[in-house]
Structure 1
Amino acid sequence: MSQWKQVQQLDIKFLEQVDYFYDDNFPMEIRQVLAGWIESQDWDMASNHESMASVLFSNLLTQLERQCTQESNFLQRHNLKRIHQQLQGKYKGNPLHMAAVISNCLREERRILSTASMQEQGPLEKSMQNSVAFERQKNLDSRVAIIRSSVQMMDQAVKYLEDMQDDFDFRFKTLQSRDPAERNTLYMKQEVTTLQDMLNGLDFKRKEILTKMTDVIKEIDALMSSQLTPELMDWKRRQQIACIGGPLLTGLDQLQYWFTLTAQSLFQMKRQLDKLGELILKVTYDSDPIPLQKPQMEEQVKRLIYHLIKSSFVVEKQPCMPTHPQKPLIIKTQVQFTTKVRLLVKLPEVDYQLKVKTTFDKDLPPGRVNRQFFILTNNTKVMDVEESSNGCLSVEFRHLQLKERKYINGPKGNEGPLTVTEELHSLSFEAQLSIQGLNIDLETCSLPLVVISNVSQLPGGWASVMWYNLLTDEPKNLSFFSNPPRAGWSQLSEVLSWQFSTFAGRGLTREQLSMLGDKLLGQQSSHGDCQVSWSKFCKENIPGKPFSFWMWLDSILELIKKHLLPVWIDGYIMGFVSKETERALLKEKEPGTFLLRFSESHLGGITFTWVEQAENGEAKFNSVEPYTKSRLSALPFADIIRDYKVISDGNVPENPLKFLYPDIPKDEAFGKHYNSQQSKGNQTGGGPLKITFLLPSAATPPPSSSPEPPMSPGMFDMLNQHLDPFEIETAVSFSVLREAASSPSVESAHKTWPI
């Protein structure tokens, strides 16, 4: 079933979430009419390669044009043409943005499907979708609009004050120009009285304006401290969660709207105060409130502008290698990575002025890390206006590279208590802004980075990125892994499910997460309140195994992504189940019932077990040696299920796999994933058995004085090239029979090999 069809079958509460992010990002009509084509493209890769994004953008428009010509409904055809024009206008100049938008939408669909399969939202999901947030944002919209309106009304008040002062100034100068002999006349006395009344009115109006301005300044100050700053912090926290597979990150455009309107209000008030300063140069008097209050108010406005603009300098896109778009914050030395910063205050006089400089590990204390790096490529760029989006001011560094600093007689790397993937680094961004007489030093930094020198360190690095961003919202806590906190299983399990929905297209069910909890924490009725240490998750080996829990799980993710994706997405892999549970599930089932589970003894292996009925009527269980990525690279897993054979006592090859647990006919489950060409061993005419698994009877083994090990897959490949089919089958049969002869029991003889 396609991903879009799965989405359409969701409950209404999940469909509302889908509607929300499509409304702001991409036309849902296009998602509907081009569902299959969209899901077949690699949008993750395209979002980091401009040439690929351009090709996909062109193909998208072509697909849409074809759909328009085939559409018989007039209204629908009209809407598709309109959307075609809108897409051209919005993304023609920036196809990378379109690819990123579609990639994010598909990922968000997978995450929502994962959440739905868990039957209830996890704690992180709930915190990211707090129902109070919408009301909070509506309130912020209202407050910003009221402040903006108040400031604009003060413009009118200042203009009215200026007119009043001009009238007073004119009449006062006219009076001064009169003949001194007329000063004691009744007319002159009346004129002086009028001027005094006008001055009183002028003084009242000045005090009124200053009082209103003081109130608005206090309101802006309160708005920034109680709402704007918390909203920005909330966005940054949601960015952390989105980096590790959580809900799609939205809201930056909304933040820019609030920041920009607030900044416009503050700059307008600064101009109003400047205007008041000009007015007192013409008319002032004893107890004039403007020279008494204006300096303090100016300092307050400047302080608010300074803090607002400094906080509006943010990392919109965390550092990420284009080769691993879904694993940000991991940088490999001498491999290109990208990052993007943005100014949330949109003012025309700021455009094309900001030069941003990047620095790696700026002001890092000596000895804090064992390895030191420097940016190999150009680290300075000028911010530009994004015409294709909302006109924001931003700069994207697309070609940054790191190189390790080598010291001839200096400290050697990797000698401290932390491993390479626990060592955290930071990328800083700096710029200097001069605007309306204010000089503002801008600085922000990325979330902590993990720097690796070999791709084999990627799993460990990703574990560190997940752990950090799950458990802290401190952006500069680079010593985090000196004493890493524990993670609650309820939070950690949610993040693990996100990994499967992000990388494998289907998240984990509550039952699968419970099985993982048993694996990591031991069997318990509930793991919800359990705490997991960093060491237990990633550093300590699983008891009796040469690898950690995370290495085991990450290898399964890789196996699914490269070799099992269609079967996994269909939900046919039970996956995380122990041998004991497996037998309990199969015990009462029909002979030939089998289930698929991931190997507990191999890294990145999948096996299947089927049940048979022994001669004494008891259930007998047969398992195959786990299939790893090296063995699955030659043949699709569904074809292995279809063509699997054992040779019975009568030397007749047969497929023992009948029903996928609990009772789904094998062909019904896997049929759509079969290759059209079956293996020759499954055809008539006596062709070679390309995939033959042999299970001899242990009851009457042939005599053998020197048992030999069973034939390996490599040996079979060699025989396959040089012997005819009959010779191959005979060689394999004798090889496995020799294993049976050396086996102490039937159970031990059930180990089989794919050939």
Structure 2
Amino acid sequence: MTQWKQVQHLEIKFLEQVDHFYDDNFPMEIRQFLADWIENQDWDAASNSESMATVLFHNLLSQLEEQCSQEKMFLQRHNLKRIKQQIEVKYRANPLHMAGVISNCLREERRIIATSSMLEQGPLETSMQNSVVFERQRNLENRVAVIRSSVLIIEQGVKYLEDMQDEFDFRFKTLQSRDPAERNNDHVRQEVVRLQDMLNTLDYKRKETLGKMTDLIKEIESLMNTPLNEELMDWKRRQQITCIGGPLLTGLDQLQNWFTLTAQSLFQVRRQLDKLEELVMKVTYDGDPIPLEKPQLEERVKLLTYHLIKSSFVVERQPCMPTHLQRPLVIKTGVLFTTKLRLLVKLPEVNYQLKVKTTFDKYVKELKVKDTFFILGTATKLMDVEEFSNGCLSVEFRHLQLKERKYVNGSKGNEGPLFVTEELHSISFEAQFCIQGLTIDLETSSLPVVVISNVSQLPGGWASVIWYNLLTDDPKNLSFFTSPPPATWSQLSEVLSWQFSSFVGRGLNNEQLGMLGEKLLGQHISRNECQVHWSKFCKENIPGKPFSFWHWLDSILELIKKYLLPLWVDGYIMGFVSKETERVLLKEKEPGTFLLRFSESHLGGITFTWVDQSENGEVKFNSVEPYTKSRLTALPFADIIRDYKVIVDRNVPENPLKLLYPGIPKDDAFGKHYNSQPSTESQYIPSVFIPVSQFTNPSTASFSSLDLLPMSPGMFDELTQKLSPVEIETAMSSPYSE
């Protein structure tokens, strides 16, 4: 089943997540029509190769053109042409970005598919999806609806006041126009009494309307101070969690709807107050409540409008390099990065362009950092209505770069105590909003970013991003790493699982996390509340190893992404299992049963261990030297499993790998991932690379791997007969036990 068909079989709640990231990044119609073609392209590689991305960009346009020509339905053909034009305009100048977006979409699909099959959720993810959150949102929805209803009621009341006052004004002026000699007759006296009653009613209705306005303004203020602000803060917190691999971020459109309806209510109240001012200019009297109360109400409405619009200016998408979409907030100097801003208030009155200016490190002059940077590229852009979305005001910066500032006499500023990857920086955004005589200076900032100058610093920078966003929600705490707080294992283990689900499409189960916890914390009866310190996680080397825990784990992520992705997504790599546990699992299994685990002594290595029995019935465990990227580049790992051979002295080579733990036939597990064999119709004798190990001593419990040997399977036995054991041994590495 193709990946896209698997997506279509997901539950509604998962389909909504898929819908969200396609709406924001890439048209789902293209994914639907070109599903097979898209899945057969290497978008990961293209996202790091401009030439390859350019080729795929033009191929995509050709595929769409062909699809349009074959489409028989007029409306569908029209939509495809429109989408093709949009894609061409959006990505013509930057096909690398398109490749990164599609790569990310495919990875998010794999992640959601894997998540849907995993019933357990961690505490952070569960807290974002519990019934309390839904109940809070439903109450907010109801309160916004009540406010909108109250605004309409007050509007009707003001209209009633206007009609009543017009009648009073007409009667009063008519009475004034009568002959003074007639003012003492009964009819005139009755009219005076009627006018006095109307004036009393008018006064009562004015006080009633002002009272309703006062109550409404209090309700709007209460709404803004608690549930609406809580939802905004909750969305920003969820954005932090999404940035470090957590659940997909949704809810911004709903938040915009609440902000917009609240703003509309405030502007309507302001218009109603203006209307009351007009009524006063026509009719007023001693004790008139409007001149007394209106200025105070106007000031409160103005202040609420100011705060609402100011808080509605948000960073919709945090700074990110298109080549590393899964690792936002780490920016390399000289490399393009993108970010996107949105105004959550959508009003017809503000459908005009707002100029947004970008500033780097505006408020960190006082911090002692080693390096300072400035922005290159288009740092000022116009915020405009999004044509292909919900019509919100937004702006996307696509061509920003950071450059290190040069200092006179070689000085680089104050030297600080932190590593470069621990220094946090901020990108600020400013705009000026003007409406109905109200001028509001808008300002917001990104989450703290880490700036690197070499891609080798990326793992350390990403570790800093993880630690910061896991443990604080204060976006201005740029001195965080001067004294970073510890994380509990329950917090950290969930985030580590997210790294795998977001980066390589499948998270970690409890057993895998247990092995990682043991590696970090040792044997603890209750590990969840044990604290992990920043230095232990990222800065200190693992005892006896020349690398830290995080760099070891990050190297495994890279290994999976580049060489083991299909096998990992299918769940065939146990990966994180200690040697002791490995032996317990394999001990009672049939000879030839094997499992795959990551090396603990190599950065980015994977090995396999199988169980065997000696002639006297003794159980033996055999492991090969770990395969790292330098070796996996030459031969896919599934083919290594298929073709692996063992030579015992001068005997015929055989593959000892029969069953993948717990008992899956090897070909059933890996068959669909084998490379196709060379054609037998060729005039040449086909050859294959075969990974080989040799027993120089049958009692040895560990094996070493020979370099991959190009030869045909039929010739291999003949070759072993011609070469002496010494000659074979010369070509082999020394015995190794991982």
Bin for the TM-score computed over the shorter chain: 0.7 to 0.9
Letter in 1 for 2:625: E
- Cα offset for 1:516? 1.3
1:463 is matched with which residue? 463
Distance 1:529 1:114 in 2: 27
1:72 is matched with which residue? none
Letter in 2 for 1:20: E
From the superposition, tell whether residues 59 and 203 of structure 1 become closer, same or farther in structure 2 (CA, over 3 Å). farther
1:231 is matched with which residue? 231
Q: Do the aligned residues in 2 keep the contact of 1:44 with 1:325 (CA within 8 Å)? A: no
1:734 is matched with which residue? 726
Q: Is 1:345 matched with 2:341?
A: no
Could you report, residue by residue, the CA deviation over 1:458-512 in whole angstroms, capped at 9, with x for unpaired residues?
1111111111111111111111111111112122111111111222122112211
From the superposition, tell whether residues 230 and 647 of structure 1 become closer, same or farther in structure 2 (CA, over 3 Å). same
Letter in 2 for 1:289: P
2:545 is matched with which residue? 545
Match of 1:18 among 14, 17, 30: 14
- Cα offset for 1:223? 1.1
1:181 is matched with which residue? 181
2:620 is matched with which residue? 620
1:704 is matched with which residue? none
1:217 is matched with which residue? 217
- Cα offset for 1:92? 5.4
2:599 is matched with which residue? 599
- Cα offset for 1:737? 3.7
Q: Do the aligned residues in 2 keep the contact of 1:695 with 1:750 (CA within 8 Å)? A: no
2:94 is matched with which residue? none
Deviation larger for 609-618 or 194-203: 609-618
Q: Do the aligned residues in 1 keep the contact of 2:592 with 2:656 (CA within 8 Å)? A: yes
1:329 is matched with which residue? 329
Deviation larger for 691-700 or 612-621: 691-700
Query: Unpaired segments of 5 or more residues in structure 1?
Result: 70-77, 702-709
Q: Is 1:203 matched with 2:196?
A: no
Could you report, residue by residue, the CA deviation over 1:288-315 in whole angstroms, capped at 9, with x for unpaired residues?
0001100100011001100100010000
1:287 is matched with which residue? 287
Letter in 1 for 2:465: V
1:147 is matched with which residue? 147
- Cα offset for 1:102? 7.2
Distance 1:45 1:315 in 2: 29
- Cα offset for 1:735? 5.0
2:246 is matched with which residue? 246
1:271 is matched with which residue? 271
Deviation larger for 668-677 or 332-341: 668-677
- Cα offset for 1:528? 1.8
Q: Do the aligned residues in 2 keep the contact of 1:117 with 1:507 (CA within 8 Å)? A: no
Mapping 1:516-595, distance limit 5 Å:
516-595=516-595
From the superposition, tell whether residues 608 and 483 of structure 1 become closer, same or farther in structure 2 (CA, over 3 Å). same
Distance 2:451 2:56 in 1: 28
Deviation larger for 605-614 or 449-458: 605-614
2:661 is matched with which residue? 661
- Cα offset for 1:410? 7.1
- Cα offset for 1:40? 3.9
Instruction: Please report the RMSD computed on the Cα atoms of aligned residues, expressed in angstroms.
Output: 3.7
From the superposition, tell whether residues 244 and 697 of structure 1 become closer, same or farther in structure 2 (CA, over 3 Å). same
Q: Do the aligned residues in 2 keep the contact of 1:318 with 1:329 (CA within 8 Å)? A: yes
SS of alignment partner, residue 439 of structure 1:
strand
Distance 2:78 2:149 in 1: 36
Q: Do the aligned residues in 1 keep the contact of 2:649 with 2:697 (CA within 8 Å)? A: no
Could you report, residue by residue, the CA deviation over 1:168-193 in whole angstroms, capped at 9, with x for unpaired residues?
22222222233333333333322222
Letter in 1 for 2:568: W
2:435 is matched with which residue? 435
Distance 2:407 2:41 in 1: 46
SS of alignment partner, residue 432 of structure 1:
strand
2:95 is matched with which residue? none
SS of alignment partner, residue 245 of structure 2:
coil
Distance 2:267 2:309 in 1: 11
1:670 is matched with which residue? 670
Could you report, residue by residue, the CA deviation over 1:140-194 in whole angstroms, capped at 9, with x for unpaired residues?
2222122112212322221221222222222222222333333333333222222
Distance 1:263 1:645 in 2: 72
Distance 1:600 1:206 in 2: 79
- Cα offset for 1:658? 2.0
Distance 1:581 1:700 in 2: 22
Mapping 1:89-104, distance limit 5 Å:
93=86
2:697 is matched with which residue? 698
Letter in 2 for 1:323: T
Distance 1:238 1:737 in 2: 57
- Cα offset for 1:238? 0.9
Give the share of equivalent positions with the same residue, in percent: 70
Letter in 2 for 1:182: E
SS of alignment partner, residue 376 of structure 1:
strand
Could you report, residue by residue, the CA deviation over 1:58-97 in whole angstroms, capped at 9, with x for unpaired residues?
577579779978xxxxxxxx9xx87776676678536769
Distance 1:670 1:477 in 2: 48
Could you report, residue by residue, the CA deviation over 1:635-663 in whole angstroms, capped at 9, with x for unpaired residues?
11111112212222234222222222222
Distance 2:76 2:233 in 1: 35
Mapping 1:634-645, distance limit 5 Å:
634-645=634-645
SS of alignment partner, residue 268 of structure 2:
helix
SS of alignment partner, residue 383 of structure 1:
strand
From the superposition, tell whether residues 634 and 103 of structure 1 become closer, same or farther in structure 2 (CA, over 3 Å). closer
TM-score norm. by structure 2 comes to: 0.88
Deviation larger for 1-10 or 506-515: 1-10
Q: Do the aligned residues in 2 keep the contact of 1:244 with 1:465 (CA within 8 Å)? A: yes
Mapping 1:68-79, distance limit 5 Å:
none
Letter in 2 for 1:387: E
Letter in 2 for 1:166: D
Could you report, residue by residue, the CA deviation over 1:336-374 in whole angstroms, capped at 9, with x for unpaired residues?
110010101011221223110010011213343221111
TM-score norm. by structure 1 comes to: 0.86
- Cα offset for 1:527? 2.3
From the superposition, tell whether residues 143 and 457 of structure 1 become closer, same or farther in structure 2 (CA, over 3 Å). same
Could you report, residue by residue, the CA deviation over 1:416-465 in whole angstroms, capped at 9, with x for unpaired residues?
22111111001000011111111101000001101000000111111111
Distance 1:659 1:330 in 2: 42
From the superposition, tell whether residues 162 and 410 of structure 1 become closer, same or farther in structure 2 (CA, over 3 Å). farther
Q: Do the aligned residues in 1 keep the contact of 2:678 with 2:686 (CA within 8 Å)? A: no
SS of alignment partner, residue 287 of structure 1:
coil
SS of alignment partner, residue 692 of structure 2:
coil
1:478 is matched with which residue? 478
- Cα offset for 1:749? 3.7
- Cα offset for 1:277? 1.2
Distance 2:527 2:216 in 1: 52
Query: Unpaired segments of 5 or more residues in structure 2?
Result: 92-97
From the superposition, tell whether residues 302 and 41 of structure 1 become closer, same or farther in structure 2 (CA, over 3 Å). farther
From the superposition, tell whether residues 20 and 258 of structure 1 become closer, same or farther in structure 2 (CA, over 3 Å). same
Deviation larger for 571-580 or 303-312: 571-580
From the superposition, tell whether residues 426 and 53 of structure 1 become closer, same or farther in structure 2 (CA, over 3 Å). farther
SS of alignment partner, residue 418 of structure 2:
coil
Distance 1:191 1:316 in 2: 64
Distance 1:113 1:20 in 2: 13
SS of alignment partner, residue 654 of structure 1:
coil
From the superposition, tell whether residues 654 and 413 of structure 1 become closer, same or farther in structure 2 (CA, over 3 Å). farther
Letter in 2 for 1:502: S
From the superposition, tell whether residues 287 and 99 of structure 1 become closer, same or farther in structure 2 (CA, over 3 Å). farther
Q: Do the aligned residues in 2 keep the contact of 1:613 with 1:620 (CA within 8 Å)? A: yes
Letter in 1 for 2:416: G
- Cα offset for 1:606? 0.7
